[in-house]
Amino acid sequence: MSRRVLVLAVLTGAALLMTAPVSGAAQAAGISSADAVAAHDAAAGVQDVLARFFAQAPGAQSPVSVRIEPDAFPVYELSPDFVAGKPDAAPGEFAYFAIPARASDGRTATLWSVRGENDAWQVGNIASGDVESAYARKLPSGAQLLHESQIDAWYAVRDGRVTSLSDGKAATVADYRRTVEARYADKLPGSRYDRDGDAGGYDATSQVMPRGDGGPAPAGHDTGWVPLLILVGVLAVSGAGYVFHLRRHAA
């Protein structure tokens, strides 16, 4: 799977976002503390599935118990409208709540809770590791956690600035937009890159895939959960798959 394909797949997936109608920066995206509670409740309801995820993942040695942490971190993905320079477009669009979990043997995972049919929150993916929570805990007060999944970069967005959470480098929102425009403007949905079929090969209704350790997706997962779940599937296949690719090669 080429990097070019991954870039457009993630941007196309983000274009399908249904922004959900927390405080501070999260409120600007239309999500509330009640949404966070409901998203966490949905995650708590799949504890048995989570236990199977840990048990079947490569490296599992014995049966483990699992604990779902009390946090629900809102995660934003790079917005195609922002890349395209649409007026008033924010850098990120809300994608999912990340709920961290831990197994008794020390391994970690993250449940991605998304808004489904009839505004019900449901788990759309179980991803290995606790990347989201690790970065979310670095955020200054009132900042949004933004993921540029095409290059697996994480940022804090606050007060008109976008700050890298890996090296602390900061840019104005306007400067960051020029950067991502240069990277992705010719790969947005509707572009020649798109029309030529360079991003083909994705079935938006395919099984949501986990990130990182190659463990199984939730058993009996319903792949028909409206566009937000389709988004998570696309993001998982593209962005998370690309992250896995980088991690394997880095190892």
Enter the tokens of residue 103: 């197994």
Per-residue pLDDT at 83 exceeds 80: yes
Enter the tokens of residue 206: 């395919």
At 20, is the pLDDT very low, low, confident or very high (cuts 50, 70, 90)?
Answer: very low
Confidence (pLDDT) at 116: 86
The residue with greater pLDDT, 179 or 62, is 179
**How many contiguous H segments (helices) and E segments (strands) does the chain have?**
10, 9
Confidence (pLDDT) at 194: 55
Percentage of residues of the chain with pLDDT beyond 70:
63
Confidence (pLDDT) at 204: 28
What's the mean pLDDT when you consider all of the chain? 74
- Rounded distance, CA 123 to CA 67, Å? 16
- Rounded distance, CA 54 to CA 216, Å? 9
Confidence (pLDDT) at 193: 54
Residues 55-68: pLDDT tens digits?
887 777 777 899 99
Taking residues 63-87, what's their average pLDDT? 93
At 11, is the pLDDT very low, low, confident or very high (cuts 50, 70, 90)?
Answer: very low
Confidence (pLDDT) at 7: 46
Confidence (pLDDT) at 140: 94
The residue with greater pLDDT, 123 or 64, is 123
